[in-house]
Structure 1
Amino acid sequence: MADNHSKEVRSMNMSHIRSTNSRPEEIVRKYLFSKGFRYRKNVRSLPGTPDIVLPKYKTVIFVNGCFWHKHDCSRFVWPSSNQEYWIPKIQHNVERDKKNIEALNILGWAVITVWECELKKKVREKRLEQLCAEIKGECVNGTD
Structure 2
Amino acid sequence: MEESATWEGRPEGSWASSAGRRRNMQAIRSRDTKPEFLIRRLVHARGLRYRVSARPEPGLRRTADLVFRPAKVAVFVDGCYWHGCPEHYQAPKVNSGYWSEKIVRNVARDRDTDQRLRDAGWLVLRFWEHEPSEECADRIAATVIARRGVKQ
TM range (shorter): 0.7 to 0.9
Alpha-carbon separation, structure 1, partners of 2:117 and 2:136: 23
Deviation at 1:137, TM superposition (A): 4.0
The 1:136–1:98 alpha-carbon spacing in structure 2 relative to 1, beyond 3 Å, is: same
- Deviation of 1:133 after TM superposition, in Å, equals 2.2
Among 74, 93, 98, the residue aligned to 2:106: 93
Question: Which structure would you say has the larger Rg?
Answer: 2
Contact 1:46–1:104, Cα closer than 8 Å, also in 2: no
- CA–CA distance in structure 1, aligned partners of residues 64 and 118 of structure 2: 13
Residue in structure 2 matched with residue 19 of structure 1 by the alignment: 30
User: SS state of the match for residue 89, structure 1?
Assistant: helix
TM-score (norm 2): 0.77
Select which of 46, 54, 57 maps to 1:43. 54
Counterpart Cα distance in 2 of 1:33 and 1:71: 27
Deviation at 1:55, TM superposition (A): 1.4
Report the alpha carbon displacement of residue 107 of structure 1 after superposing the two structures with TM: 0.7
Structure 2 residue corresponding to 1:8, chosen from 3, 10, 19: 19
Corresponding position of 1:71: 85
**Contact 1:38/1:54, CA 8 A, preserved across alignment:** yes
Q: Kindly tell me the number of residue pairs found equivalent between the two proteins.
A: 128
TM-score normalised by L of structure 1: 0.81
How far apart in 1 are the matches of 2:124 and 2:146? Answer: 11
Unaligned runs of 5+ in 2: 1-16, 148-152
1:96–1:40 distance in 2 versus 1, CA, 3 Å: same
SS of match in other structure, 2:76 = strand
